[in-house]
């Protein structure tokens, strides 16, 4: 169902959960629950994705071609075979980078306007 | 212990099928994991709350997304077979629209609350023991001591001339007892309504005007309160303006508390008193009816005899207001429901064949892993797209139907206007959409019941499911044929009754006749001499106009909805003829209206000087007197004049109330003798009578501006108005029957062609074994005709039942006799057989070699 023909700009801005999920996936393949836990930890429990929201987002990213389902299992002994793992696609990487660029530009613009000093 | 994960899994059913199929497992597993990690009650509770809120947010989002995809897919499916989709949507739109439209009329008349306080306690009393005729004191005495009525009011409505100081208008006036407004619990928009004593002679020189009249004649000026208006010459003070939505008893512009007073506004001719009342709280309708009957029996024991034409009755006010069209609307509503059912059967057919045709697709998808619920969801969305488009379009049709109905059979009160924006109607439309959507939504589910991934993908038309759908399709065809035949028989009877009405001899000739009304009430022409002079001047003026062939005038013109006065007339040395309508005419009337004098002659001016004034009677009178044409030269005595009259002529009987009703006996006396205060002029003209209307009005108004001239129109227009309802019923039933016929033919065609597709293999083998194409066509035809025959049998029974109700639509309809049933049945059978036969041409394309080869 990949429809990566869409321009990257059309996919931006990414919603915060989507951004976090893609960010996690850049580090390697994950299954749904792992993504959820990682984001929970990284955001000090501020973003707690429900299953519906989580798999809704996964479904959407699959359709948009940002991620694919992976056939490989990192460690078949450790993990439950039935879990599905997801892998980020090159398009997904480009999108998450573009989002970072967008955010950085936004932050810089704001810094210039209100004069926030660089953190020491 | 409760397995919470299982419970959670159950809750996931709210997600759309595809999403569920994909993630149900993962989500449940995740829930289990989280459950394991949670410690203590608080965390468990938090987990549940989180899961629930997540569900509430994400399930609708996924549902919208997936259903959007499904409906886009559905549109692609329908685009592949646009004709059958178009037919299904079109018939559904027409059927749903027509039924919603007719329902809006039903709702406005029978369900909507009347705009009066506590309207459910309001009743009309027909032929009550007391009315305005008993005088103010008698009426008050009766109403104040009634055991079942809290209050009652009596009134009569007639047309009068209103002079507002600037214009002279013809308005409808209700003369009433002072408590009409308080009984209906209606407050004035401006000023006040009547106080209890204001219907006393001497205190009753007041009126309340309608909001409409206030706007039109007084420009909505508030200073109208306290000003004086003249009603038929009587000077009355305007004390109030009624609220804009109030027009009881219907189309009224002025209310005057003068019902007990015969002098303030002079009363002429015939008028009808109506009485309405408010039941005491807690009295049921049934109890009220018993009390009312007892009341009538006490005052007038003869009044309750059933053979009397004026049986006292107590009816709810809403029923009374709708009584004119109630039955017709209910009949039309049933007819429309029949068409709706036929159309629904057709949509069912379409969905059935679609599901059957795509059996292969679904089996394949199912084998590739699509869940059963996924396929069912797709089918349901397809069905819903279809019904939703049909019903949406149907609302436009409904709007049109409501508008046409409003023009042809308007409700009595403005607040009963037919609209779709009425919560009953909206509920009806929504319910219709939901029911059709639901019925067609679950049908695929039922059909898909047997599809299993394991069934052989290659052999599609296997067994039981097809046989079941086949039987269902045949049942649907029988149903369609039965409904269609019922409608065809009905429209055949209606159509032939209507044609009889059109060709009936009216006793006059409406073509080329122009009519106009003049009223001298409240003008300066009050003496008999002055009136006659004015009327003669009008006649002369009209006669002198180019193209005018004959001019006359009459008291009561046919087709004009007048209240007629009738009485018994004694023929000298002969019988008493009852129920004779007394009419007056000016010389030239019969020629102008196209009634033939079959004996004697018309009034001449010299005849007025003879000792016995002349009278002209109609054929019905002559017949009922027993003398026939020999009535000529005999004397008759009317109850209203002491002098005898001499019969000078016999004229053809006019159907006064239109083609539906036979004309009764009438006697015309020369109006010259005692000129009435209103007359209707008739002129026969050469060429198109429409061209004369303005000329005529201008000519008469030119004589004297203070005299109102109204209802200037052609007699053909009046005839059209009289025929409007029969025409409306006939055309609508004909149209609906036509629609049903088209739907049924489509049903028959698709069943027959479907049967061939289903049995292609078998038929191919038969051909290969030597059966001729003709033999096979006959075989298919015979099988296709069976459901039609069943349908026709059921339809005949249905039509016979329907016939009993149809007679209420207009007079002259009879659903009896062999022709009424046989002609439509044969017609339908021929069409059905023809359609089935044309469907069998498909057989020609069967190649037996191909069929047998496919077997291996």
Category of B522 on φ-ψ map: left (φ > 0), alpha (ψ -120 to 50) or beta: left
Model confidence pLDDT, tens digit, residues B610-626: 677 889 999 999 999 88
In this model, does residue B839 exceed pLDDT 90? no
Calculate the alpha carbon distances from B792 to B371, B754, B837 in Å: 43, 21, 18
What is the C-alpha separation between B647 and B614, in angstroms, rounded?
Answer: 6
Record the tokens describing residue B157, joined without a space: 């409505």
CA angle at B21 for the pair B18 and B27, rounded to the nearest 5°: 115
**C-alpha neighbours within 13 Å on the C-beta side of residue A41:** 6
What confidence score (pLDDT) does residue B610 get? 64
Confidence of residue A5 (pLDDT cuts 50, 70, 90): very low
What confidence score (pLDDT) does residue B82 get? 80
* Average predicted confidence (pLDDT) for chain B: 84
What is the C-alpha separation between B846 and B856, in angstroms, rounded?
Answer: 17
Q: Which of B695, B704, B569, B595 is nearest to B651 (CA)?
A: B595
The number of angstroms, rounded, from the C-alpha of B802 to the middle of its chain's C-alpha atoms is 17
Confidence of residue B466 (pLDDT cuts 50, 70, 90): low
Determine the angle formed by the axes of helices A32-42 and A51-64, rounding to 10 degrees.
110
Question: Which chain A residue has the Cα nearest residue B14?
Answer: A52
Q: What one-character DSSP code corresponds to residue B807? A: T
Task: Count Cβ atoms within 10 A of the Cβ of residue B365 and give its class: 0-12 exposed, 13-18 middle, 19 or more buried.
Answer: middle
CB of B673 closer than 8 Å to CB of B660? no
In this model, does residue B609 exceed pLDDT 80? no
Beta-bridge mates of residue B158? B173
The whole-number average pLDDT for the span B760-781 is 82
Chains A & B: contacts with CB separation below 8 Å: 57
Verify whether the Cβ–Cβ distance B26 to A32 is below 8 Å.
yes
**CA-based R_g, chain B, Å:** 36
Question: Which chain A residue has the Cα nearest residue B47?
Answer: A50
CB of B405 closer than 8 Å to CB of B101? yes
Question: Is the peptide bond between B299 and the residue preceding it cis, with omega within 30 degrees of 0?
Answer: no
What confidence score (pLDDT) does residue B460 get? 41
What is the C-alpha separation between B851 and B849, in angstroms, rounded?
Answer: 5
What confidence score (pLDDT) does residue A1 get? 42
What confidence score (pLDDT) does residue A2 get? 43
- Residues in A closer than 8 angstroms to B59, CB to CB, are 52
Question: Is the peptide bond between A109 and the residue preceding it cis, with omega within 30 degrees of 0?
Answer: no
Model confidence pLDDT, tens digit, residues B545-565: 999 999 999 999 998 877 777
Model confidence pLDDT, tens digit, residues B302-346: 666 655 556 788 888 888 787 777 778 888 888 888 888 888 887
What percent of chain B has pLDDT above 70? 93
What confidence score (pLDDT) does residue B376 get? 79
Which of the pair, B303 or B822, is modelled with greater confidence?
Answer: B822
In this model, does residue B171 exceed pLDDT 80? yes
What confidence score (pLDDT) does residue A80 get? 58
Most confident option among A42-51, B639-648, B777-786: A42-51
Verify whether the Cβ–Cβ distance A53 to B23 is below 8 Å.
no
The whole-number average pLDDT for the span A79-108 is 88
What is the C-alpha separation between B801 and B483, in angstroms, rounded?
Answer: 12
Nearest to A52 among B29, B33, B59 (CB): B59
Most confident option among A87-96, B268-277, B351-360, B413-422: A87-96
What confidence score (pLDDT) does residue B533 get? 93
Helix (H/G/I), strand (E/B), else coil: B474: helix
- Residues in B closer than 8 angstroms to A50, CB to CB, are 50-51, 53-55, 57-58
Beta-bridge mates of residue B255? B174, B208
In this model, does residue B829 exceed pLDDT 70? yes
The whole-number average pLDDT for the span A23-47 is 91
Verify whether the Cβ–Cβ distance A55 to B27 is below 8 Å.
yes
What confidence score (pLDDT) does residue B732 get? 83
In this model, does residue B278 exceed pLDDT 60? yes
- Residues in B closer than 8 angstroms to A82, CB to CB, are 25, 29
Verify whether the Cβ–Cβ distance B27 to A53 is below 8 Å.
no
Verify whether the Cβ–Cβ distance A32 to B57 is below 8 Å.
no
Nearest to B58 among A53, A80, A84 (CB): A53
Measured between CA atoms, how close is A16 to chain B, in angstroms? 16
CB of B62 closer than 8 Å to CB of A91? no
Verify whether the Cβ–Cβ distance A56 to B61 is below 8 Å.
yes
In this model, does residue B455 exceed pLDDT 50? no
Nearest to A55 among B23, B33, B53 (CB): B23
Confidence of residue A79 (pLDDT cuts 50, 70, 90): low
What confidence score (pLDDT) does residue B246 get? 86
Question: Which chain A residue has the Cα nearest residue B8?
Answer: A51
What percent of chain B has pLDDT above 90? 19
The whole-number average pLDDT for the span B508-512 is 91
What is the C-alpha separation between B808 and B497, in angstroms, rounded?
Answer: 13
What confidence score (pLDDT) does residue B590 get? 94
In this model, does residue B160 exceed pLDDT 70? yes
Q: Is the dihedral of CA B425, B431, B435, B441 positive or negative?
A: positive
Q: What one-character DSSP code corresponds to residue B641? A: -
Task: Count Cβ atoms within 10 A of the Cβ of residue B48 and give its class: 0-12 exposed, 13-18 middle, 19 or more buried.
Answer: middle
Confidence of residue B446 (pLDDT cuts 50, 70, 90): low
Which of the pair, B686 or B817, is modelled with greater confidence?
Answer: B686
In terms of pTM, does the model score above 0.80? no
Q: CB-based contacts of B791: which residues, under 8 Å, 6+ apart?
A: B477, B478, B479, B480, B481, B482, B484, B485
What confidence score (pLDDT) does residue B819 get? 80
In this model, does residue B360 exceed pLDDT 80? no
What is the C-alpha separation between B146 and B184, in angstroms, rounded?
Answer: 18
In this model, does residue A73 exceed pLDDT 80? no
- Please provide the DSSP assignment of B319-359 as one string: HHHHHHHHHHHHHHHHHHHHHHHHHHHHHHHHHHHHHHHTH
Model confidence pLDDT, tens digit, residues B785-797: 888 889 999 988 8
Q: Which of B133, B153, B130 is nearest to B142 (CA)?
A: B130
CB of B703 closer than 8 Å to CB of B541? yes
Model confidence pLDDT, tens digit, residues B68-119: 988 888 888 888 878 778 878 888 888 888 889 888 888 888 888 887 888 8
In this model, does residue B699 exceed pLDDT 80? yes
Record the tokens describing residue B286, joined without a space: 């049934």
Verify whether the Cβ–Cβ distance B54 to A59 is below 8 Å.
no
In this model, does residue B456 exceed pLDDT 70? no
Question: Which chain A residue has the Cα nearest residue B11?
Answer: A52
- Mutation to test the B interface, candidates A50, A63, A67, A84, most B Cβ within 10 Å: A50
Confidence of residue B459 (pLDDT cuts 50, 70, 90): very low
Residue with tokens 């196209």: B594
């Amino acid at each position: 169902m990949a429809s990566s023909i869409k321009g990257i700009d059309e996919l931006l801005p990414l919603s915060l959960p989507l951004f976090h999920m893609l960010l996690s996936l850049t580090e390697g393949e994950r299954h749904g629950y792992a993504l959820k836990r990682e984001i929970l930890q990284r955001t000090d429990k501020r973003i707690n994705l429900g299953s519906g929201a989580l798999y809704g987002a996964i479904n959407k990213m699959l359709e948009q071609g940002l991620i694919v389902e992976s056939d490989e299992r990192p460690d078949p002994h450790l993990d439950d075979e039935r879990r599905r793992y997801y892998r980020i696609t090159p398009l997904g990487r480009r999108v998450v980078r573009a989002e970072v660029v967008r955010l950085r530009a936004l932050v810089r613009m704001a810094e210039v306007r209100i004069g926030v000093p660089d953190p020491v | 212990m409760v397995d919470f994960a299982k419970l959670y899994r159950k809750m996931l059913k709210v997600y759309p099928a595809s999403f569920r199929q994909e993630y149900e497992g993962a989500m449940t597993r995740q829930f289990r994991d989280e459950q394991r990690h949670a410690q203590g009650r608080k965390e468990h509770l938090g987990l549940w709350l989180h899961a629930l809120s997540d569900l509430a947010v994400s399930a609708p989002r996924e549902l919208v997304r997936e259903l959007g995809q499904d409906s886009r897919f559905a549109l692609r499916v329908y685009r592949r077979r646009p004709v059958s989709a178009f037919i299904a949507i079109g018939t559904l739109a027409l059927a749903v629209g027509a039924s919603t439209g007719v329902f809006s009329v039903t709702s406005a008349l029978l369900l909507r609350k009347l705009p009066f306080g506590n309207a459910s306690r309001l009743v009309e009393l027909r032929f009550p023991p007391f009315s305005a005729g008993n005088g103010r004191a008698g009426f008050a005495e009766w109403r104040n001591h009634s055991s079942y009525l809290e209050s009652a009011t009596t009134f009569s409505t007639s047309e009068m001339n209103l002079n507002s100081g600037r214009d002279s208008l013809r308005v409808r006036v209700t003369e009433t007892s002072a408590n009409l407004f308080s009984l209906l619990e209606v407050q004035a928009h401006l000023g006040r309504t009547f106080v209890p004593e204001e219907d006393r002679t001497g205190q009753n020189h007041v009126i309340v005007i309608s909001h409409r009249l206030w706007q039109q004649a007084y420009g909505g000026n508030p200073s109208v309160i306290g000003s004086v208006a003249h009603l038929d010459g009587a000077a009355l003070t305007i004390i109030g303006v009624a609220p804009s939505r109030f027009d009881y008893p219907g189309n009224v512009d002025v209310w005057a508390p003068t019902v007990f007073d015969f002098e303030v506004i002079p009363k002429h001719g015939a008028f009808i008193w109506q009485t309405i009342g408010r039941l005491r709280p807690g009295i049921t309708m049934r109890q009220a009816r018993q009390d009312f009957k007892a009341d009538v029996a006490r005052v007038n024991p003869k009044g309750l005899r059933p053979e009397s034409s004026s049986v006292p009755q107590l009816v709810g006010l809403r029923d009374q207001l709708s009584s004119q069209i109630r039955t017709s609307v209910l009949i039309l509503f049933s007819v429309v429901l029949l068409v709706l059912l036929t159309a629904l059967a057709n949509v069912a057919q379409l969905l059935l064949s679609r599901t059957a045709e795509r059996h292969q697709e679904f089996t394949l998808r199912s084998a590739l892993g699509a869940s059963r619920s996924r396929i069912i969801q797709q089918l349901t969305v397809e069905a819903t797209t279809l019904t939703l488009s049909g019903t949406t379009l149907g609302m436009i049709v409904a709007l049109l139907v409501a508008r046409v109905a409003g023009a042809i059979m308007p409700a009595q009160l403005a607040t009963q206007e037919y609209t779709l924006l009425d919560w009953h109607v909206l509920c009806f439309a929504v319910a219709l959409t939901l029911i059709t959507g639901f019925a067609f939504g679950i049908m695929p589910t039922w059909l898909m019941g047997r599809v299993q991934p394991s069934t052989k993908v290659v052999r599609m038309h296997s067994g039981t499911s097809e046989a079941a759908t086949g039987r269902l399709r045949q049942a649907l065809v029988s149903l369609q044929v039965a409904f269609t035949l019922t409608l065809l028989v009905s429209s055949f009877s209606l159509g032939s009754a209507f044609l009889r009405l059109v060709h009936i001899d009216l006793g006059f000739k409406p073509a080329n006749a122009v009519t106009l009304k003049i009223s001298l009430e409240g003008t300066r022409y009050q003496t008999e001499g002055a009136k006659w002079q004015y009327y003669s001047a009008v006649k002369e003026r009209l006669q002198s106009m180019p193209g005018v062939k004959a001019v006359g005038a009459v008291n009561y013109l046919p087709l004009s909805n007048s209240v007629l006065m009738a009485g018994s007339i004694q023929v000298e040395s002969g019988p008493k003829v009852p129920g004779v309508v007394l009419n007056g005419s000016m010389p030239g009337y019969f020629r102008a209206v196209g009634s033939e004098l079959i004996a004697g002659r018309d009034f001449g001016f010299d005849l007025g000087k003879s000792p016995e004034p002349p009278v002209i009677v109609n054929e019905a009178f002559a017949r009922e007197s027993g003398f026939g044409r020999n009535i000529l030269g005999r004397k008759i005595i009317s109850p209203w004049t002491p002098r005898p009259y001499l019969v000078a002529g016999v004229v053809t009987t006019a159907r006064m109330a239109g083609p539906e009703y036979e004309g009764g006996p009438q006697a015309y006396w020369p109006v010259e003798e005692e000129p009435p205060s209103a007359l209707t002029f008739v002129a026969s003209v050469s060429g198109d009578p429409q061209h004369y209307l303005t000329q005529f009005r201008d000519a008469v108004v030119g004589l004297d501006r203070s005299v109102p001239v109204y209802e200037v129109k052609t007699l053909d227009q009046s005839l059209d108005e009289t025929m409007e309802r029969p025409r409306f019923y006939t055309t609508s039933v004909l149209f609906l029957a036509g629609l049903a016929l088209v739907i049924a033919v489509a049903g028959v065609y698709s069943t027959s062609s479907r049967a061939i597709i289903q049995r292609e293999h078998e038929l191919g083998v038969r051909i290969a074994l030597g059966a001729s194409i003709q033999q096979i066509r006959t075989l298919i035809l015979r099988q296709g005709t069976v459901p039609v025959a069943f349908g026709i049998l059921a339809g005949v029974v249905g039509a016979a039942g329907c016939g009993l109700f149809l007679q209420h639509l207009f007079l002259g309809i009879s659903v009896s006799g062999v022709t009424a049933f046989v002609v439509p049945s044969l017609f339908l059978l021929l069409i059905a057989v023809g359609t089935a036969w044309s469907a069998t041409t498909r057989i020609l394309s069967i190649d037996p070699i191909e069929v047998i080869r496919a077997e291996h």
